[in-house]
Amino acid sequence: MPPKNRFAELLPEITAWRRDFHEHPELLFDVHRTAARVAELCRSFGCDEVVEGIGRTGVVAVIKGRSDSKGRVVGLRADMDALPIREQTGVPYASKTPGKMHACGHDGHTAMLLGAAKYLAETRNFDGSVVCIFQPAEEGGGGGREMVKDGMLSRWNVQEVYGMHNMPGIPVGHFAIRPGAMMAAADQFEIVVTGKGGHAAKPHDCVDTTVVSAHIIVALQTIASRNVDPLKQIVVSVCTVETDSTAHNVIPQVVKMKGTVRTMDAKVQDFVEARIGQIVEGTALALGARAEVHYQRGYPVTVNAPENTAFAAEVARRVSGHVDTATAPLMGAEDFSFMLNERPGAYIFLGNGDTAMVHHPAYNFDDSAIPFGSSWYAEMAETRMPAA
Ligand code: NI
C-alpha cells in the first residue's frame, strides 16, 4: 500500500505549515507561537479535545474514532523546538530569527503529525482514541519528561506511544528501526581539579593542575578501552578544559573540565559513573591535587519494545515498501525515552535523503517525505485500532 492518496492532496497545505514553522523557529520551552498554531490547527480540524500548557508548553489533541468498543488509546508524538544555529540553507522560507533554526527537522515532524491529525479527524476510521502529543524542548530541555511528569499519559489513558524522527542518509520514503536500544543515554559531567598555582618557572613550588588534568583525560580513555566489554557501546568524551589563568607563565590553581557519557545499558551507565569518580579522585590524589566530579544523568536510553517495534515496522512496510528492521543504534539521545520508559511503544527513523546531517546549518527537512510520515502516523492508529 503506497502513502494514502489523501496526503498527496494535503501535501501543499502540510508543506505550508512546515515552512511557516521553519521561518519562525523557537527554542526549548519557548515554543509559544508554534504551540498556539498547533492548537489552532487541531481545533480547526475538529479534534475532540485540544489542551495547551502540558509540560509547560506542550499541546495534546485527542481524536475519537467512530466507535470505542475496547477503550484503546494510541499516542503519537512529534517535537516542536528548534536549535541555536545560524541558518545557511538559502531557502526562501529560511529562519527569520538569526541564530535560531529548525536544524533537526522538528518543523517537519510537527507538520506531519498535524497532517495525520487532520486526516484522522476527517475520517475517524478507527475504534478507540488517538492522542496527538506535540512536545517542547526535545533539544536538551527534557520537554518529554515534563509532559510525562504533568500526568499526560495517565490523564488520557495512553496505552502505547510512537515517535518518528527524520534521518539524513536514508532515502526519502524509506524507514529504519530496531527492537531494543535505539538511541543512547546521555549524561554529563564536570570535573574540578584544585592544586596550587604559582610561577610557571617554579613548578616544584606548585601542584600543577594542568598536568593533573592531562593525566585524568588520558586515564578516562581506559574506561571505554580497558574496562567495558568491547561488545557494549560507550562514549566518554572530555569536551571543554578551562583554567583560571590566561597567562603563559602562570600555573593555574583550578582546572574545570566538562564532558559527556553515552551508554546503551543501565549496568554500563552505573559502572561508568562510579569509574569516573575513582579515576578522577585517584589520579588527583597520586599527583598531590584534589578533584571532584559532578555527574548528572540526562536522557535515558530510548528502548523500543519488541512487539510494538514489529508492528511499527509492518506499518512502515505497508506505507513505503522499504523498511530496515535492524538499523544500527545511534549514540545521540532522545527524550521520547521518558515516554517509552512509561509505556510500550517504538521510535522510527524516516529517510530525509542525501542532505546535510541534522544540527548542521545547511540541513533542511525534505518536504517530499511528508506523505510517508503522515501516512505512517495515520496508519499506526487505524491499523492498531481497526474500526469495529
Ligand atoms: Ni531532533
For the chain, give the mean pLDDT.
97
DSSP state, residue 225: I
Domains of the chain by residue range: 5-182+301-384, 185-299
| CB-based contacts of 52, cutoff 8 Å, min separation 6 | 35, 36, 39, 58, 59
Which of 290, 293, 278 has its CA nearest to residue 195? 290
Q: What pLDDT does 4 receive?
A: 78
Helix crossing, 32-45 with 5-23: angle to 10°? 150
Distance 107 CA to ligand 1 centre (A): 10
Q: What is the mean pLDDT of residues 61-89?
A: 98
Q: What pLDDT does 59 receive?
A: 98
* Whole-prediction pTM: 0.92
242-251 per-position pLDDT tens digit: 999 999 999 9
Provide the sign of the torsion angle of the four alpha carbons 8, 9, 14, 16, taken in this order: positive
Question: What sections of 209-331 are H helices per DSSP?
Answer: 209-222, 266-286, 306-320
Distance 80 CA to ligand 1 centre (A): 9
Fold of 5-182+301-384: Aminopeptidase (3.40.630)
**For residue 3, pLDDT beyond 90:** no
Q: What pLDDT does 2 receive?
A: 61
Distance 121 CA to ligand 1 centre (A): 27
Q: Does the fold of domain 185-299 match that of domain 5-182+301-384?
A: no
Percent over 70 (pLDDT), the chain: 99
| CB-based contacts of 13, cutoff 8 Å, min separation 6 | 115
Distance 268 CA to ligand 1 centre (A): 25
Under 8 Å between Cβ of 181 and 303: yes
Q: What is the mean pLDDT of residues 118-138?
A: 97
Half-sphere exposure of 204 (CA within 13 A, CB side): 0
For the beta carbon of residue 265, count every other beta carbon within 10 angstroms: 17
β-strand pairing of 175-176 with 250-251 = unpaired
Distance 102 CA to ligand 1 centre (A): 9
DSSP string for residues in 229-262: -TTS-EEEEEEEEEES--STTEE-SEEEEEEEEE
Kindly state the cell numbers that stand for 56. Answer: 509547560
Fold of 185-299: Alpha-Beta Plaits (3.30.70)
Distance 46 CA to ligand 1 centre (A): 28
